[in-house]
Structure 1
């Protein structure tokens, strides 16, 4: 089984296949078929494809996190990076992704989506029977869940913020593994409609619980829907789905019990993790070079345990991030209960339900502060509570691939968040609502597919 799956994955992630993922590929169709090509023939084959960690669980786009301003590089570290990393860091308008190979966020995302489509096409060929129904349904649910998550993560990076009326460009919606189907960009409304359909369709198919959070369950799908609706600024729906997720798992880690001096104090697959996934980490985000913004670090007062659990002091007096929910230096991009508490709290606050909003916020903060320092926060109105919640969201969800999306959707609410960085004495800025908040699609994708590039 392992040999079969490895051959299949290798074929899926070949450069030739990438060309076909981008659009029509006549040269590929003219090529002689490989008689040794392995085709998945059993449910176990399909499950093994989805269980391939490098293809499915460590490939969330990281370019949005690299574009946010939670960290900075020294002049020397910036100069030591490759051209693409340097251009991402200074928000250049084009040429942000390596081309000619599979090593960029777009190929990771759409390679994973191809696997989802292969599974969805393969299931009817195997057939659903009384004996395999539970496994068959679960596999379909997993493929729909991953495809929906992939499109959500991609939309956050390569699309402008959601607006029902904008008519903005969305993603090419690949819903089949057919190589010969051209890639055409949908509208942003169509993109979100598809990913919501996928996630909602996955819910009745997925199990209530799984043995490990690397496999999606109903709570993971509800959590993904909460994230999607939050990014769409549909706060009522976001709150309801966050609540559904929390009805299954409402556990919170007590940071008082963690060893803050450890290299990575937060364990992988801990009690808060509903769905475990990692981002493809851009080299500038590596803690060995990424310095935490000093203004951000100053938001954590004495008694806030995140100040020592999340950060370590460098020898030069700067700080690096160590609080990943992966238990390593990697970037966690999955679903966890702390985020669900904050989404539900924000929804309550925006609806004027101040007491409920503060109850969720204080439930979280009680587990984040030293017991001797903790005092419940209070607010007289929903608007006041909202400001407290957004501040804690900023502090709690650091390095989770969420900040880029948050900036975009909050700027649609009038937040006016602009970003700036300084390199070699030159200041680079990204004004609120700038078109560069939708990163350019990789150049080779545009060249091969003929799709329209994001406007600049």
Structure 2
């Protein structure tokens, strides 16, 4: 406990460089063979791997931000190509989302394989560590499927990702179907829920509310809205804090602190240079959607040189937040209610959230909806406004296009407009060529 708290304080007070150096040294110490519950916990407490490497490739292509011609030209070739939805050479061969996620999977599998030998302990700590292993494996699979595979569909057998369920490097990597991938991660999360504590030692560790929230997110991506709502509700029964944005100091560079009360599980993106708030400009479609009195526009964004950039992230840093927070969970439950025809309950959840985002000096007019379609549209609009640059839009577009929304994307560079049509096969990012060459797996087909 004292060691964990020391690490957290150190990482939040030292400079980024010294923090990364500290984490690298701690990573080396974790390479010893794990034999105790504490050893396995240390594997999962390596924050540089487990908390600071959320997949960013999905956000890079989701269309909520744009780059100027000059900023685009200054990026590495792979980033430039990914930004414009190229079908090859879009990721560095040695450091990329795929490698980072499977590093997390390997650590999770090490814990899942190793902790049963200690089952006689059956302690709170033992159960928590095993639950964290299942949670992190599911989280990694979900992010990989969200980026590198097409949308979930019960009737289709599209290629998904390799489901590495043990630490045996000798087993060949074979792509399971998208459906099999979701089935596996759902099963992992159902195993994690009874093992995890209601309140973790720190929000950098998974908890029972986090597993419910992640399962709600997964079911939403699967368009299984009833199950998404049930797990969103289970999460909110355990943790439902919302920040009153009137209490924030909106004059600060970032009004949000790390580990604030809405945080369920703290993770953030790997640091992709194109997503830096000095380069990524927010779509005017999003900026213009905020009404007068909505404090989110001021809390989230800043106007600089005629364009808006992210100002406040739930990470408390300049790097975007990719974790789980209660605002997302309220919106998942609201969408579930709306799709079930429970219009009043759906609007209650949306209005509960918005009241905490509204300038108290200005009149707040609650949302109402008279039809299911109207309620769904309200929730989807607020989801877009609340969860910008949170790593969710790419999956949202894919699932909504399955329902006929017809969302296409376009970006313009050097006077040339590039378009990604709705339901294009390119809504699955290319797997890094190095992985394809080494494994012999089939690449996504475009």
If the TM-score is normalised by the length of the shorter chain, which range does it land in?
Answer: over 0.9
**What is residue 89 of structure 2 aligned with on the other side?**
95
| Helix, strand or coil at the partner of 1:203 | helix
1:108 is displaced (CA, Å) by 0.5
1:7 is displaced (CA, Å) by 7.7
CA distance in 2, matches of 1:200, 1:403: 25
CA distance in 2, matches of 1:231, 1:38: 38
Listed one character per residue, the Cα deviations across residues 309-367 of structure 1 (whole Å, up to 9, x for unaligned) are: 011111x1111112211111111111111111101111111111101011101001111
CA distance in 2, matches of 1:124, 1:293: 49
User: Are 1:363 and 2:357 counterparts?
Assistant: no
| Helix, strand or coil at the partner of 1:148 | helix
| Helix, strand or coil at the partner of 2:302 | strand
CA distance in 1, matches of 2:223, 2:270: 26
User: Are 1:113 and 2:105 counterparts?
Assistant: yes
| Helix, strand or coil at the partner of 2:39 | helix
CA distance in 2, matches of 1:319, 1:375: 26
Q: CA RMSD in A?
A: 1.6
Comparing 343-352 and 372-381, the one that deviates more: 372-381
User: Are 1:330 and 2:319 counterparts?
Assistant: yes
| Helix, strand or coil at the partner of 2:418 | strand
Does the 8 A contact of 1:8 with 1:38 survive in 2?
no
CA distance in 2, matches of 1:250, 1:395: 20
CA distance in 2, matches of 1:112, 1:11: 17
**What is residue 47 of structure 2 aligned with on the other side?**
53
CA distance in 2, matches of 1:373, 1:281: 39
| Helix, strand or coil at the partner of 1:215 | coil
**What is residue 443 of structure 1 aligned with on the other side?**
433
CA distance in 2, matches of 1:422, 1:71: 12
With the length of structure 2 as denominator, give the TM-score of the two structures.
Answer: 0.93
CA distance in 1, matches of 2:68, 2:287: 17
1:11 is displaced (CA, Å) by 9.7
How many pairs align?
Answer: 425
**What is residue 11 of structure 2 aligned with on the other side?**
none
| Residues 71 and 8 of structure 1, relative CA distance in 2, 3 Å threshold | closer
Unaligned runs of 5+ in 2: 8-22
Give the counterpart of 1:133 among 113, 117, 123: 123
Give the counterpart of 2:139 among 146, 149, 152: 149
1:373 is displaced (CA, Å) by 2.7
| Residues 8 and 114 of structure 1, relative CA distance in 2, 3 Å threshold | farther
Give the counterpart of 1:257 among 238, 247, 266: 247
1:129 is displaced (CA, Å) by 2.4
1:387 is displaced (CA, Å) by 0.7
CA distance in 1, matches of 2:371, 2:257: 37
| Helix, strand or coil at the partner of 2:161 | strand
**What is residue 423 of structure 2 aligned with on the other side?**
433
1:6 is displaced (CA, Å) by 6.5
Does the 8 A contact of 1:8 with 1:39 survive in 2?
no
1:112 is displaced (CA, Å) by 0.7
Does the 8 A contact of 1:408 with 1:437 survive in 2?
yes
Comparing 169-178 and 375-384, the one that deviates more: 375-384
CA distance in 2, matches of 1:182, 1:237: 34
**What is residue 376 of structure 1 aligned with on the other side?**
366
**What is residue 191 of structure 1 aligned with on the other side?**
181
Superposition misfits of 4+ residues, deviation over 3 angstroms: 5-12
CA distance in 1, matches of 2:74, 2:124: 52
1:8 is displaced (CA, Å) by 8.9
| Residues 186 and 11 of structure 1, relative CA distance in 2, 3 Å threshold | farther
Unaligned runs of 5+ in 1: 13-36
Give the counterpart of 1:290 among 275, 280, 284: 280
Matches within 5 A, 1:174-189: 174-189=164-179
Comparing 275-284 and 305-314, the one that deviates more: 275-284
| Helix, strand or coil at the partner of 2:160 | strand
With the length of structure 1 as denominator, give the TM-score of the two structures.
Answer: 0.91
Listed one character per residue, the Cα deviations across residues 290-324 of structure 1 (whole Å, up to 9, x for unaligned) are: 1111222111121110110011111x111111221
**What is residue 419 of structure 1 aligned with on the other side?**
409
| Helix, strand or coil at the partner of 1:319 | strand
CA distance in 1, matches of 2:242, 2:34: 40
Matches within 5 A, 1:187-336: 187-314=177-304, 316-336=305-325
CA distance in 1, matches of 2:434, 2:374: 47
